């Protein structure tokens, strides 16, 4: 009986509370490295809206053979924001964005000028040259967000908040 309760509690936690997510690619470097395990809180958006700069895990909207079912990226714009790029930098609502988390020399390009639709967020990987993100798959529907990545849990040498 105790084992059954333990399994049910574990399933409930994984379904509604938190999930470990393994980083499968270099698309979020330098913030996240291949093999890092992050803890994703699934309930963060029950009471609040996603915000710029948050790292989110969402269902892959355009899976190709071999692609992961879920992806992690950074929110760079939310519903109603206008987004563009110029001179290698991201522009949100007419303002150049200072993205200190990017590696030195990283440029942002190939952003089609647009307004993020209601109920969506625009996401990008921190490794802009190696990221399949909203520049290619479009804005991400909020309902496809699995959760908010809050900290790196593994390896222990990289334990930190995100």
> Known catalytic residues?
27, 73
Alpha carbons 56 and 146: distance in angstroms, whole number: 7
C-alpha distances in angstroms, 9 versus 17, 92, 150, 153? 11, 42, 22, 21
Cβ atoms 58, 39 nearer than 8 A:
no
Alpha carbons 139 and 76: distance in angstroms, whole number: 11
How is residue 9 written in tokens?
Answer: 């509690």
Question: Please, which residues bridge with residue 78 across strands?
Answer: 121
């Amino acid at each position: 009986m105790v084992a059954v309760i333990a399994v049910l509690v574990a399933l409930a936690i994984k379904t509604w509370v938190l999930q470990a997510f393994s980083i499968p690619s270099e698309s979020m470097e330098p913030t996240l490295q291949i093999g890092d395990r992050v803890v994703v809180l699934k309930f963060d958006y029950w009471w609040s809206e996603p915000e710029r700069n948050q790292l989110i895990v969402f269902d892959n909207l355009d899976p190709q053979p071999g692609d992961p079912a879920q992806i992690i990226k950074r929110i760079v714009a939310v519903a109603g924001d206008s987004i563009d790029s110029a001179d290698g930098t991201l522009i949100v609502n007419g303002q150049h964005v200072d993205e200190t988390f990017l590696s030195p020399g990283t440029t942002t390009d190939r952003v089609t000028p647009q307004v993020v639709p209601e109920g969506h967020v625009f996401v990008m990987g921190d490794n802009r040259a190696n990221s399949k993100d909203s520049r290619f798959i479009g804005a991400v529907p909020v309902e496809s967000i699995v959760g908010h990545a809050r900290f790196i849990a593994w390896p222990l040498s990289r334990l930190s908040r995100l």
